[in-house]
Amino acid sequence: MTMMRPVLISVVYLMLVSAVPVIADCVGDEVAVIYALETSDVACVEGIDCVLDHLEGEAQYPFSDAALGRGWILRGICGDFTLLKLYHQNKGFARLKRAAEERPGDFYPAMWLGASAVESNYLFVSVSAARDYLLSSVEILMGSEMEMRGYFLSYCYYFLGMLEKDTGDLKRALNYWELAVEIDHGGRMAERAANLIDIFTG
């Protein structure tokens, strides 16, 4: 069984990354696999565990710490037991906060912190801090020429919309969701934003 574990890790990891080759080429494997976990049906608990095991052994990636943080949070969200969910999410937020402090000029740690705060109902990060993380990511991305800029801006706007909805400001939420659709029309987060616009305006 122990000999099969590395094989299983490699197979699941490669399956996830190979599903998004353009992302992997643009932003690196550690970011691509988080994209895959967030968007793929492969991202079951076992799949997330395999990816976490793999990333733990690949510390040379520039965003490994941030990716691990986001991965542990996703593991907590997908978990079945409350205490384990909280344990995994707490572990993930600690890694992401450390990554954000160490790499203040990079948007990944801040973006994932903001998104994770929304998904965890602001249990580990306050609403105001989550908003600041997402807005700072938008500011960095606005000055970027990276190929995936549209997708990540749409990601930030989607979660900013979710945050404003949670605070009761539906008008601002709709504005952010409209930006998410406009900036990356047809993209994954844009589709989610468009669905929410239909729900709240239909």
156, part of any domain: no
Query: Over pLDDT 90: what percentage of the chain?
Result: 55
Which secondary structure element, helix H or strand E, spans residue 3, and what is its range? none
39, part of any domain: yes
Domain, as residue range, for 20: 4-105
pLDDT at 3: 38
pLDDT, greater one: 64 or 68: 68
Structural domains of the chain, count: 1
pLDDT tens digits, 81-117: 889 899 999 999 999 999 999 988 899 999 999 999 9
81, part of any domain: yes
pLDDT at 25 over 60: no
101, part of any domain: yes
159, part of any domain: no
pLDDT tens digits, 11-24: 555 555 555 444 55
Task: Report pTM.
Answer: 0.86
pLDDT tens digits, 120-131: 999 999 999 999
187, part of any domain: no
CB neighbourhood size of 56 (10 A): 12
> With bands split at pLDDT 50, 70 and 90, how would you rate the model's confidence at 26?
low
183, part of any domain: no
Of the candidates 61, 183, 167, the residue with the CA atom closest to the CA atom of residue 121: 167
pLDDT at 186: 87
Structure tokens given for 38: 């967030």
Which DSSP symbol is given to 106?
-
Q: What angle do CA 55, 59, 115 make, to 5 degrees?
A: 60
pLDDT, greater one: 106 or 51: 106
138, part of any domain: no
